[in-house]
Amino acid sequence: MRIDILSLFPEMFNNVFNESIIKRAKELGKVDINIVNFRDFTNDPHNKVDDTPYGGGAGMVLTPQPIFDCVKSLRKDNSLVILLTPDGEVYKQSRAYELSHKEHIILICGHYEGFDERIRSICDMELSIGDYVLTGGEMAAMVIVDSVTRLLPGVITEESHLNDSFSGKLLDYPTYTKPRVYEGMEVPEVLLSGDHKKIAEYRYQESLKKTLERRPDLLDKE
Ligand SMILES: C[S@@+](CC[C@H](N)C(=O)[O-])C[C@H]1O[C@@H](n2cnc3c(N)ncnc32)[C@H](O)[C@@H]1O
């Protein structure tokens, strides 16, 4: 998979994309991530990419030309262009699975007060990572890249994400590791039994209990 990210602040991605699973996925050739500063595409003699809003109001607005030209230079037949915006569809694990099957994703990070409304016309999808407002789309792009990359075949074992919360209707089951007793708290006996059928049943029941307590809405999912 190839991911292009349009951002005015490319250095923000340095640490996040060079650690842990994303780093490994890049080294394995599972994902190729390219950060493009769309300021390099501006026709403005002073390198500007933003301007004051028509009609007045606070802040600066990203102009269409640099983003239009940057997307044009990157877009292929198999590309999916995604605008990161707080008024977009709220991003979910089901969308992460869908994106993990794409060959090429282009993520557009807004900044300042936002972007010229006409930029929406060149996008295939608009995503928000939640009902709050970030300074820019960079952290939203990192969230999407991270959640999609770990689903690419061969990056982590399939078993580890199939049981994850939001992969199905249930939240993940509780997990324990050594020591067997810690500060008086014991690992449930069944997990030490070696009886895989009983362990699977225990985990299912715990997942169900947790989901009913914390996120009953998930049980109504299609
Ligand atoms: C300060 S925000 C602009 C907010 C805009 N005035 C509004 O209220 O919808 C600047 C940029 O950050 C990004 N952004 C902010 N919050 C986001 C969110 N929840 N999800 C995705 N992107 C977000 C978008 O790219 C947005 O254009």
* Domain at 175, CATH number: 1.10.1270.20
- The total number of structural domains that make up the chain: 2
**Minimal CA–CA distance to 208: which of 160, 148, 149, 168?**
168
Nearest CA to ligand 1 atom 9: 86
Among residues 95, 121, 149, the one where a domain terminates is 149
Indicate whether residue 149 lines ligand 1 (CB < 6 A): no
User: How far apart, in whole angstroms, are the C-alpha atoms of residue 103 and residue 3?
Assistant: 8
Backbone angles phi, psi at 196, to 5 degrees: -65, -30
How many angstroms from the chain centroid is the CA of residue 78?
20
21 C-alpha to ligand 1 centroid (Å) = 26
**Minimal CA–CA distance to 105: which of 140, 132, 76, 64?**
76
Q: Are residues 27 and 63 in the same domain?
A: yes
Residue 204 lies in domain: 163-220
Confidence at residue 141, expressed as pLDDT on a 0 to 100 scale: 98
Strands 79-90, 104-109: pairing kind:
parallel
Confidence at residue 95, expressed as pLDDT on a 0 to 100 scale: 98
20 C-alpha to ligand 1 centroid (Å) = 27
140 C-alpha to ligand 1 centroid (Å) = 9
DSSP class of 191: G
Q: Are residues 84 and 171 in the same domain?
A: no
Total-model pTM:
0.96
User: Which atom of ligand 1 is least distant from the CA of 133?
Assistant: 16
Confidence at residue 163, expressed as pLDDT on a 0 to 100 scale: 85
Tens of pLDDT along the chain (222 residues)? 999 999 999 999 999 999 999 999 999 999 999 999 999 999 999 999 999 999 999 999 999 999 999 999 999 999 999 999 999 999 999 999 999 999 999 999 999 999 999 999 999 999 999 999 999 999 999 999 999 999 999 999 888 888 899 999 999 999 999 999 999 999 999 999 999 999 999 999 999 999 999 999 999 977
| Annotated active-site residue in 53, 75, 95, 113 | 113
Indicate whether residue 7 lines ligand 1 (CB < 6 A): no
**Minimal CA–CA distance to 91: which of 129, 124, 126, 125?**
129
Q: Is residue 157 part of a domain?
A: no
Q: Is residue 68 part of a domain?
A: yes
Which residues, listed in sequence order, are joined to residue 34 by a DSSP beta bridge? 4
* Domain at 92, CATH number: 3.40.1280.10
Q: Is residue 92 part of a domain?
A: yes
Among residues 120, 149, 178, the one where a domain terminates is 149
Confidence at residue 158, expressed as pLDDT on a 0 to 100 scale: 83
- 107 in Cβ contact with 84 (< 8 Å): yes
Q: Is residue 196 part of a domain?
A: yes
Active site residue 174: no
